[in-house]
Chain A
């Protein structure tokens, strides 16, 4: 029960932080807020897809070229988290972009 409440509390706090980053501080655009909220629901409530989380971690850990970073961000915002095909297809795109980024850095 305690762990369950802790998870719920993290989820609720994150949800309100994301909303306020758009509403109060104007740091996030409307689309960015929607994208992050959907991502939050996808990972927390629907408890799906650890592979997706691993990919996000990989992206955050990598030193991504600015253009590639923006493309990955735009790809993430375009995902329809209610459709498995959309998640799978865009995950593959992000993987390719990260591979391409690593190749660029190796060169």
Chain B
């Protein structure tokens, strides 16, 4: 009997896997990010492991790399894990080394045991219910049990099933919110629509999209040399500098100093070439200094990353979400990402990247903007698949010279537009719209143009 009970307990507990996950968290930042995002303290059986996981996660959230040393310092500061026995236990845990690549395997083992324990607890509770009250409504008992069991079989932590009541409440709340906003627009904002998400940096794009919303994947396509990075930094300017929202910018092509110099030009309005060569006067230098002071107070985080892979974007985004609470990530650009599997064709790689980024946006509830390269004929490789995955697909392209010269329509704007943003897909609103803008190539600045005559 005792033997049976020990075997059963062993089925529910896997202390070795718990130690291996904790050890990996203390020795590798990548493993720490993975475990932090996949597990919760309650997934650990041992109370000591719960404490270590909580301390490690807390260090990580505060941007302190959770090494063994930092863990001991943190624990001592809190007056815990101070006995010799605790230190021996910690050393024992730390020495459960794994190859960092195996972290997902060990995390799964910890999570599976945690789910089994929940199931065990459900069975015990159900048995107790039957033993305590024999007169209960059997239908009710079974329905309650079924609901609990259904929740337990949801694989992911964030899985959520909407009941009809949930859906009706959500729907009404959404309509009510929109109704109140519409009233507010009429009464307070005199017709100017407040945004639902982050500002796009363009008046007309704001109007059509109501801003970039959490969970959105936005794809911006442009040909080589046609302003992808300028568009990305224009967006970053609107979101991180003017709106002071935290944003992560991943650049696969440019160096740190190249990105920093671009900002000098964008924020001062001085030609990029002159900023780059240093051909400026003292008053311009002070304008540039003022520009950089805006950048200093902003939410712009830059991560130049020439060897970016889809997997790496996940771990970087998770890290910045946990530590800097970013609301948006821009990937400039996906064509430069390293292939994980050389056998895949270009379109397959792009599809894989785009799918990963959509899931990332939804899981972290951030906006992800991917910049992609258009073919010389303006088409996009793997466009159909990309279009399926994204919420908003934009294409940035120059307006043909002949059209600029001949079009009466374009002459109705305060500045003659030379570029246009084409809304190819918009899940939440109108698409097929072309928004004319002005791209100052020398200053690398994109600008709204206003219609001045009808």
Task: Tell me the A residues contacting B by CB distance below 8 Å.
Answer: 1, 5, 8-9, 11-13, 15-16, 19-20, 23-24, 30, 34, 37-38, 40-41, 45
Q: Report whether A41 and B69 are in contact in the complex, using a CB–CB cutoff of 8 Å.
A: yes
| Cβ-defined partner of B94 (8 Å) among A1, A12, A37, A40 | A12
Using A12-B94, A34-B73, A38-B73 as known contacts, list a sample of 15 further A-B pairs with CB atoms less than 8 Å apart, ordered by residue number in A. A8-B95, A9-B97, A15-B72, A15-B91, A16-B91, A20-B84, A20-B87, A23-B84, A23-B87, A30-B76, A37-B69, A37-B72, A40-B69, A45-B65, A45-B67
| Chain A positions within 8 Å of B84 at CB level | 20, 23-24
- 28 pairs, CB–CB < 8 Å, chain A vs chain B: A1-B99, A8-B27, A8-B95, A8-B97, A9-B95, A12-B68, A12-B94, A15-B94, A16-B87, A16-B88, A16-B90, A19-B72, A19-B87, A20-B84, A20-B87, A23-B82, A23-B83, A24-B84, A24-B87, A30-B76, A34-B73, A37-B72, A38-B73, A41-B67, A41-B69, A45-B65, A45-B67, A45-B69
With A19-B72, A45-B65 as given contacts, are A12 and B87 in contact (CB-CB < 8 Å)? no
Give the Cβ gap from A9 to chain B, nearest Cβ, in Å.
6
The smallest beta-carbon distance between A71 and chain B, in angstroms, is: 25
CA distance A7 to B340 in the complex (A): 29
User: Which B positions have Cβ atoms within 8 angstroms of A?
Assistant: 27, 65, 67-70, 72-73, 76, 82-84, 87-88, 90-91, 94-95, 97, 99
Closest to B98 in A: A5
Contacts of B70 in A (CB 8 A): 41
CB distance from B411 to the nearest CB of A (A): 57
The residue that A15 contacts in the complex, of B65, B68, B97, B99, with Cβ under 8 A, is: B68
Q: A23 to chain B: which residues have CB within 8 Å?
A: 82-84, 87
Note all chain B residues with C-beta closer than 8 A to A34: 73
When chains A and B are docked, how far (Å) is the Cα of A78 from the Cα of B307? 38
Of all chain A residues, which has the CB nearest B99? Answer: A1
Measured CB to CB, the nearest residue on chain B to A34 is B73
Nearest CB on A from B99, distance (A) = 7
User: Contacts of A16 on B, CB cut-off 8 Å?
Assistant: 87-88, 90-91
For B75, the closest partner residue in chain A by CB is A19
A71–B83 CA distance with the chains assembled, in angstroms: 31
Tell me, in angstroms, the Cα distance from A14 to B97 when the chains sit together. 16
- Assembled-state Cα–Cα distance A98/B83 (Å): 38
Q: Which residue of A lies closest to B29 (CB)?
A: A45
**Cβ of B87 and Cβ of A5 under 8 Å apart?**
no
Roughly how many angstroms separate A87 CA and B163 CA in the complex, as a whole number?
Answer: 59
> Which of B68, B72, B88, B91 counts the most A-chain CB atoms under 10 A from its CB?
B68
